[in-house]
Amino acid sequence: MIDVEKIRADFPILSRTVYDKPLVYFDNSATTQKPRCVVESLVNEYYSVNANVHRGVHFLSQQATELHEAARETVRAFINARSTNEIVFTRGTTESINLLAYSFGEAFMQEGDEVILSVMEHHSNIVPWQILAARKGISIKVIPMNDNGELLMDEYKKLFSEKTKLVSVTHVSNVLGTVNPVKEITAIAHEHNVPVLIDGAQSVPHMTVDMQDLDAEFFAFSGHKVYGPTGVGVLYGKEEWLNKLPPYQGGGEMIQSVSFEKTVFEQAPLKFEAGTPDYIGTTGLAKAIDYVTAIGMDNIAAYEHELTEYATRRLKDVDGLRIFGEAEHKGSVISFLVGNIHHLDMGTLLDRLGIAVRTGHHCAQPLMIRLGIEGTVRASFSFYNTKEEIDALVDGIKKVSKMF
Ligand code: PLP
């Protein structure tokens, strides 16, 4: 069970005010707030352990390396990967997808080949493939959805051809909240011998994810969305796949030997980690993972589900409010519009009441085109949010509505 008051005490920012109002933070899909233990980990490591990793014989370097590699093990256990060799540290989901698009594209895709995406992808799972399309002449196929925001699986099955080289879809939509059936999506791709990349940016913070159960070849997520620091993320890849892929960037750390005639690369994951990694960040991410693990991902999922149900019920009572995304399986994200009120006006006026929501296209413009709108107001919940805060949101929306 979640003891929300106890949890809130771990997040100093949640007790601040904005415009003299208590902060209500409902922008958790964009980034989450950080518990004290994560911030202290960053400060303490800089104060007492800081040294560059992997290369040093001296004490501090070895201690920093141990922390960095222990963080890799923490991530491995958290997502139930088989080996730490399957955990590549990156800057975040965006870099993970760019890495894969470049590297997979280089090794396995040629002109005329196809990648399957879905209509609800974040730009970070669209644009890297478009860059690859421009470089290599591949094309992009798109899985459509129904009006509830659920992917049309029969249409998905029809998109495969002998040219299909990869499927890349989001686990949870950052706009609609839809939890996609990624295990089924993966199994169908495997029937065609096609590997799969899952964008887990919006799933990892909210539910248990298990790489061995999911069976996708690749999976990406961001540390800052799972209560960790900014600037660190993960690309998971099955070891046999990572070892088949060429490096994304060259430099230190990713080589076994270099001469002007020939360079021998490291195996995965170091092959993909050129340069000094964000070793302070990876330790902070491990602390964040320890923190959510101690609460329990299943407890988090159950509590956030309860909050989302409550919010949905209350929001549906507001005159003229339309919710976008009513999938049967939904995460803790609610996108909405009220009457003809522009999303930006709603967001700006809610902000004056101390309520932080996100407005706009949420980096999913193709989805906005599908919905026939320019943008939405989005409230996204965390396990540190409360029903009282949802009441404040509903009251705020009513107040703003009266002004129009
Ligand atoms: N994918 C999804 C579904 C997201 O919601 C986001 C961020 O909001 C990203 C990818 C990109 O994450 P980041 O900016 O941390 O790289």
Q: Each residue of 277-319: pLDDT tens digit? A: 999 999 999 999 999 999 999 999 999 999 999 999 999 999 9
- Reported as a single tens digit per residue, the pLDDT across 76-91 is 999 999 999 999 999 9
Q: Is residue 306 part of a domain?
A: yes
Is residue 329 a contact partner of residue 177, using CB atoms and an 8 Å limit? no
Which pLDDT score, from 0 to 100, does residue 56 have?
A: 85
Separation of 139 CA from ligand 1 center, angstroms? 23
Q: Is residue 221 part of a domain?
A: yes
In the predicted model, what is the mean pLDDT of the chain? Answer: 97
CATH classification of the domain holding 158: 3.40.640.10
Report the nearest atom of ligand 1 relative to the CA of 222.
Answer: 15
Q: Do 309 and 286 lie in a common domain? A: no
Q: Do 248 and 301 lie in a common domain? A: no
- Span 213-241, average pLDDT: 98
| Best mutation site among 29, 94, 182 for ligand 1 pocket (most ligand atoms within 8 Å of CB) | 94
Q: Whose alpha carbon is nearest atom 5 of ligand 1?
A: 174
Q: Is residue 259 part of a domain?
A: yes
Q: Is residue 220 part of a domain?
A: yes
Percent of the chain predicted with pLDDT > 70: 100
Q: Do 19 and 72 lie in a common domain? A: no
Does the predicted TM-score (pTM) go above 0.85? Answer: yes
Separation of 262 CA from ligand 1 center, angstroms? 37
Q: Do 268 and 346 lie in a common domain? A: no
Residues with CB under 6 A from ligand 1: 29-30, 92-94, 122, 124-125, 170, 174, 199, 201-202, 222
Q: Is residue 123 part of a domain?
A: yes
Res. 1 pLDDT band, cuts 50 70 90: confident
Is residue 393 a contact partner of residue 311, using CB atoms and an 8 Å limit? yes
| Best mutation site among 124, 172, 361 for ligand 1 pocket (most ligand atoms within 8 Å of CB) | 124
Q: Is 363 annotated as catalytic?
A: yes
Q: Do 252 and 337 lie in a common domain? A: no
Separation of 374 CA from ligand 1 center, angstroms? 19
- Span 89-103, average pLDDT: 98
Q: Do 304 and 278 lie in a common domain? A: no
- Span 243-265, average pLDDT: 94
Q: Do 331 and 191 lie in a common domain? A: no
Separation of 41 CA from ligand 1 center, angstroms? 24
Q: Do 272 and 300 lie in a common domain? A: no
For 124, residues 6+ apart whose C-beta sits below 8 A from its C-beta are: 93, 94, 97, 98, 199, 201, 363
Which pLDDT score, from 0 to 100, does residue 109 have?
A: 98
The total number of structural domains that make up the chain = 2
Report the nearest atom of ligand 1 relative to the CA of 174.
Answer: 5
Sequential DSSP letters for 13-63: GGG-EETTEE-EE-BTTT-----HHHHHHHHHHHHHT---SSS--SHHHHH
User: Over 90: is that where the pLDDT of 253 sits?
Assistant: no
Last residue of a domain, one of 267, 293, 319: 293
Among candidate residues 30, 51, 363, 368, the one labeled active-site is 363
User: Over 90: is that where the pLDDT of 379 sits?
Assistant: yes
Last residue of a domain, one of 226, 258, 293: 293
Q: Whose alpha carbon is nearest atom 7 of ligand 1?
A: 30
Res. 240 pLDDT band, cuts 50 70 90: very high
Separation of 173 CA from ligand 1 center, angstroms? 10
Q: Do 76 and 11 lie in a common domain? A: no
Q: Is residue 339 part of a domain?
A: yes
User: Over 90: is that where the pLDDT of 136 sits?
Assistant: yes
Sequential DSSP letters for 221-250: EEGGGGTS-TT-EEEEE-HHHHTTSPPSS-
CATH classification of the domain holding 334: 3.90.1150.10
What range defines the domain where residue 355 resides?
4-27+296-403
In Å, how far are 67, 72, 262, 275 from 270, measured between CA atoms? Answer: 16, 12, 18, 10
| Best mutation site among 29, 32, 93 for ligand 1 pocket (most ligand atoms within 8 Å of CB) | 93
- Span 209-225, average pLDDT: 98
Q: Do 247 and 279 lie in a common domain? A: yes
Q: Do 191 and 223 lie in a common domain? A: yes
User: Over 90: is that where the pLDDT of 72 sits?
Assistant: yes
Last residue of a domain, one of 293, 327, 346: 293
User: Over 90: is that where the pLDDT of 321 sits?
Assistant: yes
Convert 326-381 into a string of H (helix), E (strand) and C (coil): CCCCECCEEEEEECCCCHHHHHHHHHHCCEECEEECCCCHHHHHHHCCCCEEEEEC
Q: Whose alpha carbon is nearest atom 14 of ligand 1?
A: 94
Q: Which contacts of 62-66 are long-range, i.e. CB under 8 A and separated by 24 or more positions?
A: 64/279, 65/279
Q: Whose alpha carbon is nearest atom 8 of ligand 1?
A: 30
Q: Do 217 and 238 lie in a common domain? A: yes
- Reported as a single tens digit per residue, the pLDDT across 47-56 is 999 999 998 8
